[in-house]
Amino acid sequence: MKFSVLGSGSKGNSIFVESGSTAILVDGGFSGREIAERLSRIDRDMSCLKAVFVTHEHHDHISGVGVVSRRCRVPVFANEGTFRGAGKRLTKLFKQSEFETGEAVSFDGLQIRSFAISHDTADPVGFVIDDGKSRLGICTDTGIPTRLISRRMAQCDALVVEFNHDPVMLKNGPYPQSLKQRVNSSQGHLSNSDGAGLLDSVIHDGLGHVVLAHLSETNNHPEIAYREAEKVVRDRLELSVLSISEQQRPTELFEI
Ligand SMILES: [Zn+2]
Ligand SMILES: [Zn+2]
């Protein structure tokens, strides 16, 4: 399996995952043009996409999903709550495919299992994607790292984990009080230490890549997030397993 975080942060999120002749996106929170452009930077073309899986209905995760679905003539998979929450923003799709949170969807040689996370949307999820050889766990946009999340993210070969904010930067930063409270709440976003705690609960010898994701451009610094993750990884794995995804450009295409 190969994957690249095409971009991550409050201005847009999308992850490309490929196995054999199958390729999917998890979320499509950029314009169709931007997604095509970012795919070209990892030497891939939109025409290779077979489906889009959606974690939740926030704009930074779905803004380009409709365009991709129509242009590539591919189904969009989400749970009922996410389709309902998205309303008109996720209609006019090539095909709407509903899954139940927690169930595994078999799609074109991939097994994609959703799991519940804690965020201020109808029914937000993370995913574990398994192609029979390796497993990728994806969890961003959750206010708390629950036991269920740790259970699902365990024994993956690679992880994309939220390291959203530094609590001190958030507290002293420019966000209005209501937004600070939202980010901090149990249905907001994981702080660096929350993300590190989640990583600590699932770290194992076989973990090949850990990509820190959904970093706030206002309330975080990549170096601070990296240092928190480094504390967990040091002495247990090579530090080269750690990467940081960015808002503006895709990560490399990781192989697991
Ligand atoms: Zn988000
Ligand atoms: Zn969100």
Ligand 1 center–CA 194 separation, angstroms: 16
CA distance 19 to 13: 20
Ligand 2 center–CA 118 separation, angstroms: 10
Ligand 1 center–CA 140 separation, angstroms: 7
pLDDT at position 91: 86
Domain 2-246 matching CATH 1.10.10.10: the answer reads no
pLDDT at position 62: 98
Exposed, middle or buried by CB within 10 Å (0-12, 13-18, 19+), for 193? middle
CB under 5 Å of ion ligand 1: residues: 60, 141
- Domain extents in the chain: 2-246
Ligand 1 center–CA 162 separation, angstroms: 10
Consecutive 10-residue runs of the chain (256 residues): their mean pLDDT?
Answer: 98 98 98 98 98 98 98 98 97 96 97 98 98 98 97 98 98 97 97 98 98 98 98 96 98 98
pLDDT at position 194: 98
